[in-house]
Amino acid sequence: MAVLTSLTLKGHFNSFRGILQYVKLHGPWRLYRMEGRPGEQRLLDLKRWGCTGIIAGACDKKEAALIARAGVPVVVLESSPPMREKSHPLAKYACTRFDSYACGCLAAEYFLTRHYTQFAFAGDPYNLYWSLDRERGFRDTVEQAGGICHTYGGLTREEKSDWAIEQPRMQKWLKSLFKKTALFVAMDGRGRQVLDACMGAGITVPDDIAVLGVDNDDLICQATFPTMSSVQTTSQLTGYWVAEQLDRLMQGKSLKKKIYTSTPTRIITRGSTEATAIEDRQTARALEYIWKEAGHRAISVPDVVLQFGSSRRFAEIHFKSVMGHTILDEIQRVRLERVCSLLSDTNLPIGDITRECGFERESYLARLFRKRFGTSMSHYRKEARNRTWSGLDTSH
């Protein structure tokens, strides 16, 4: 098979990993990737090269027309609104879409559980459609909870094209936000700029402003100071699915559905959000300890009490008066959140998940899980996989 991928590197790095994963398992394919880099040699005569299939990303109408004229199977990765219009050359092909609105909702819910009351959003400099959708989901969820969301924007043409020119505006806006603000950023690359601006403006992260990005790109998130929390998406799974569907088409098979929508899965917490907006210092310290430790190892109520530096009775009464539930309830909530993530995102056996999340017995976890969610872990895993991919019924 000879396959052309017209994907730009930006925003599709993990998707390309998924494509490569499929090719390694079901190839070999001859892959030619057009990234749009300066000086890159183009591949315009697709027939002469022997192209048998195309994975198309965002592209202009001229390139789209070239792809459509190739006369080979095509699958589109993350079609933009213009690409969905009937007049667009690629509108007729099977495609994927990421639910950016749901991504914004998930980010807001994450901050709300941390008791934030001040919220802000920083989008893509060019206000691209997915950035606007993420802002809308974040804002709607915040406002439904009674909060107000401040939005960064209004950039000049020069500011949009040069971070050095834009940075003073960003710093001024960040300084204008209230202390203990939860800031959602449309993508990890933009989050890196925000954290850089915070450092330059003397703003402490996460104590003054907590920062959350999107895509969970390790190359970015681990290279910021502090490390950046991020919404994990299904981009690698998306790439695998796209390659699988193209393979079906190249074998002469048909697709049952035309549009597949992927959703965000969970939030990976790192240093940029390891804080809470709760003013009570003892309770905030206890919460941060639970959030950092409970999902990865077995901790107990006495371990949390040590964060108070008081008697167990005082700590438990005080924690419940502030939070409305017990220390043990919070430990179990965090553990079960981790269990849900592993059920959704991995193929680990339930026994391994039990140990990974600090539970001694699988039977105890099973009872606790059913009591909390009203279903078994195996059924939850099955439903989670179905929710991750929701095919819109637009059959050929």
Two tokens, residue 61: 């109408």
> Which residue, among 222, 262, 218, 231, has the nearest Cα to 77 in the 3D structure?
262
Q: How confident is the model at residue 9 (pLDDT cuts 50, 70, 90)?
A: very low
Between 20 and 395, where is the model more confident? 20
The average confidence (pLDDT) of the chain is: 88
Q: State yes or no: pLDDT of 194 exceeds 90.
A: yes
Asked if the structure places residue 255 within a domain, the reply is yes
Residue ranges in 215-311 assigned as alpha helix (H): 218-221, 235-250, 281-293, 301-305
Pair 254, 300 in one domain: no
> Which residue, among 244, 240, 263, has the nearest Cα to 392 in the 3D structure?
263
Between CA 359 and CA 353 the distance in angstroms is: 9
Two tokens, residue 124: 């893509």
Two tokens, residue 26: 């079901």
- Select from 219, 254, 273 the last residue of a domain: 273
Pair 60, 116 in one domain: no
Q: For 253-266, what is the mean pLDDT?
A: 81
Asked if the structure places residue 379 within a domain, the reply is no
SS3 182: strand
Cis peptide bond prior to 349, omega within 30° of 0:
no
User: What is the DSSP code (8-state) at residue 357?
Assistant: T
Between CA 362 and CA 352 the distance in angstroms is: 9
Are the C-beta atoms of residues 215 and 264 closer than 8 Å to each other? no
One-character DSSP codes across 122-177: E--TT--HHHHHHHHHHHHHHHHTT-EEEEE----HHHHH-HHHHHHHHHHHHHHS
Pair 29, 90 in one domain: yes
Lowest mean pLDDT among 4-18, 216-230, 375-389: 4-18
* pLDDT value of residue 224: 94
Q: State yes or no: pLDDT of 60 exceeds 50.
A: yes
Between CA 187 and CA 124 the distance in angstroms is: 7
Cis peptide bond prior to 73, omega within 30° of 0:
no
Asked if the structure places residue 206 within a domain, the reply is yes
Pair 69, 44 in one domain: yes
Pair 105, 177 in one domain: yes
Asked if the structure places residue 392 within a domain, the reply is no
Q: pLDDT over 70 for what percent of the chain?
A: 94
CATH number of the structural domain spanning residue 291: 1.10.10.60
Q: State yes or no: pLDDT of 22 exceeds 80.
A: yes
Per-residue pLDDT tens over the stretch 267-303:
888 999 988 877 788 898 898 888 888 877 788 999 9
Q: State yes or no: pLDDT of 239 exceeds 70.
A: yes
Pair 244, 348 in one domain: no
Which domain covers residue 118, as residue numbers?
100-233+267-273
Two tokens, residue 142: 């915040």
Asked if the structure places residue 391 within a domain, the reply is no
Asked if the structure places residue 178 within a domain, the reply is yes
Q: How confident is the model at residue 245 (pLDDT cuts 50, 70, 90)?
A: very high
Total number of domains in the chain: 3
Of all helices (H) and strands (E), which one includes residue 323?
helix 312-323
* pLDDT value of residue 388: 53
Pair 224, 75 in one domain: no
Pair 150, 243 in one domain: no
Pair 39, 144 in one domain: no
Two tokens, residue 231: 């919404």
* pLDDT value of residue 118: 95
Between 169 and 382, where is the model more confident? 169
Pair 301, 348 in one domain: yes
Asked if the structure places residue 382 within a domain, the reply is no
CATH number of the structural domain spanning residue 120: 3.40.50.2300
Tokens 């088409």 correspond to 249
Pair 248, 333 in one domain: no
Q: For 35-40, what is the mean pLDDT?
A: 74
* pLDDT value of residue 369: 92
Lowest mean pLDDT among 29-43, 217-231, 377-391: 377-391
Pair 33, 126 in one domain: no
Between CA 172 and CA 204 the distance in angstroms is: 15
Are the C-beta atoms of residues 93 and 165 closer than 8 Å to each other? no
Per-residue pLDDT tens over the stretch 157-190:
999 999 999 999 999 999 999 999 999 999 999 9
Q: How confident is the model at residue 393 (pLDDT cuts 50, 70, 90)?
A: very low
Q: How confident is the model at residue 6 (pLDDT cuts 50, 70, 90)?
A: low
Asked if the structure places residue 132 within a domain, the reply is yes
